[in-house]
Amino acid sequence: MSLKTLSAVALTAVAALALSGCSGGTAAPAPGESFDPDSSAEITFAWWGNDDRAARFEQAIAAFNEEYPNITVVRNFNAWGDYWTARNTEAAGRSLPDAVMIDAGYLGEYASKNLLADLNPYRGGVLPLDGVSDAVLGAGTVKDKLLSVPLGTNAYSLMYNKDILDELGVPYPTDTMTWEEMDDFILQVNKAGGATDPRIYGSEDYTGGFVGFIYAMMQRGNEVFDADGKAAFTEQDVVDYLETGKKLRDAGDFYPVERSVALAPKGGFLAGESAVWFNWSTTVLQGMTDAGTENIGMVQPPLDAGEKAHILAPHPSMMLSVAANSKQPQAAAALVNFLATSPKVAEIFGTSLGTPPTEAGQAAIDRQPADTVNLDYIASIQDELTASYPILPAGYGTIEAKWGELHEQMRYGEIDEKQFAQSLFSEMSMVLG
């Protein structure tokens, strides 16, 4: 799914979340060091996805049962929207599946209602998570409790279409570019692509996604949300970020908003009409498929001169938790560990769940072109994946969707940067309190 589509669906799903009365409940059994191989357990496991993902999970669970033959895993999956409708209903009654797939946008909400088990007590037994870095696990840690384990990670990236740039004679972007150099690159592509049909642009407006703002704050060493889920940034921070693209925006040098709206949810890059795309690294397969070329490159997003070194926190593409209401937490934790760290699972899924969080998993993948670009990019920035992606508060999907809505209004000239920031904070005052 594209970021815009995910945001829209998240907005609907978050609005439907009703978790009143979820702070209590029966405590789960005390953690054990291991699962007794002579005992048996039946656990439920739910995820979102399509039939292809379901078929891959069937293979993964079969491999799990080779190691844990006495654990029966009852499987259930839904499409994204239906998945959260079902989980939110279960959450209200504290009847979540034993092992439950969680999105980063929902982790803060579920954590605040004490719906997920702290997995730290299992680390010495069934959940060693060998090879998973602290930076990756930090994305699932809330107030020192490990509540969710990433099955795969993304990293924010700048993708570029080599076919377009080769045809126009424009050099590829590099991983050392500043934002000023990025602007010059966009103008160079615009000039070279002015005579093509359809016309080729350098880029969509790069301030269009809230995730870009998150990374701008991180680059400056600033928090995005505090421990209570409140905004740790100001209206002026938002204005300053938006104004980084103001010069090109006012001059009409970004990909036209009218065309973006007409193509939604694809956008200029996926339509083969703009040269670069700021997005998560694992969306490179979508880029190749929709743009109709495997010649896609990937580098780090630009950085302003004089700022901190690149900070590219690994973003959890999908996470797996154990429900606080689980009666078989040892068995569920064993499944989480296997799915997150087994090279067999990585071989089955490739990078379709994100980049495997262990080097052994990454090495097990039979690389297709998209896997190669993604994994080579992750390897190139490995030493810089030192921060954890911030825990997103309850209602984050609403905020992200609002950013996209306001940004479209700004591109049409209906509001300016200051009005954008004021409206965003008005929305956050209702969503975050």
Buried b (16+ CB within 10 A) or exposed e, 157-167: bbbbbebbbee
CA R_g for the chain: 22
Of 93 and 381, which is predicted with more confidence?
A: 93
Give the count of beta carbons closer than 10 Å to the beta carbon of residue 169.
8
Residue 11 has pLDDT above 80, yes or no: no
Which residues touch 252 (CB under 8 Å, ≥6 apart)?
A: none
Q: Percent of the chain, pLDDT > 70? A: 90
Residue 147 has pLDDT above 70, yes or no: yes
Residue 402 has pLDDT above 90, yes or no: yes
Give the count of beta carbons closer than 10 Å to the beta carbon of residue 28.
19
pLDDT at site 364: 95
Single-letter residue type at 225:
F
Which residues touch 37 (CB under 8 Å, ≥6 apart)?
A: 68, 70
Order the strands of the 156-161 sheet from edge to edge. 276-280, 156-161, 296-299
Q: Which of 268-277, 301-310, 409-418, 420-429 has the lowest mean pLDDT?
A: 301-310
174: confidence class by pLDDT, cuts 50, 70, 90: very high
**Does residue 8 sit in helix, strand or coil?**
helix
pLDDT at site 391: 83
23: confidence class by pLDDT, cuts 50, 70, 90: very low
Q: Which of 117-121, 148-152, 385-389 has the lowest mean pLDDT?
A: 385-389
pLDDT at site 64: 97
Is residue 143 within 8 A of residue 131, CB to CB? The reply is no
pLDDT at site 307: 53
Cis ω for the linkage preceding 198 (within 30 of 0): yes
Reported as type and span, the H/E element at residue 91 is: helix 80-92
Q: How far apart are CA 356 and CA 354, in angstroms?
A: 6
Q: How far apart are CA 17 and CA 320, in angstroms?
A: 19
50: confidence class by pLDDT, cuts 50, 70, 90: confident
Single-letter residue type at 135:
A
Q: Mean of the per-residue pLDDT values for the chain?
A: 88
Please, what is the end-to-end C-alpha distance for the chain in angstroms?
29
pLDDT at site 25: 38
Residue 381 has pLDDT above 90, yes or no: no
What confidence tens digit (pLDDT) does each residue in 224-248 have?
Answer: 998 888 999 999 999 999 999 999 9
What are the C-alpha distances in Å from 420 to residues 216, 399, 416, 433? 17, 12, 6, 19
What confidence tens digit (pLDDT) does each residue in 326-374 have?
Answer: 999 999 999 999 999 999 999 999 988 888 999 999 999 999 999 999 9
Of 90 and 265, which is predicted with more confidence?
A: 90
12: confidence class by pLDDT, cuts 50, 70, 90: very low
Strand segments, DSSP code E, in 113-237 are: 141-142, 145-146, 149-154, 156-161
Q: How far apart are CA 205 and CA 194, in angstroms?
A: 18
pLDDT at site 4: 40
Is residue 200 within 8 A of residue 189, CB to CB? The reply is yes
How far is C-alpha 150 from the geometric centre of its chain's CA atoms? 10
Question: Taking Cα atoms as reference points, which of 352, 287, 340, 294 lies closest to residue 52?
Answer: 352
Strand segments, DSSP code E, in 285-347 are: 296-299, 315-322
Buried b (16+ CB within 10 A) or exposed e, 263-286: eeebbbbbbbbbbbbbbbbbbbbb
pLDDT at site 247: 96
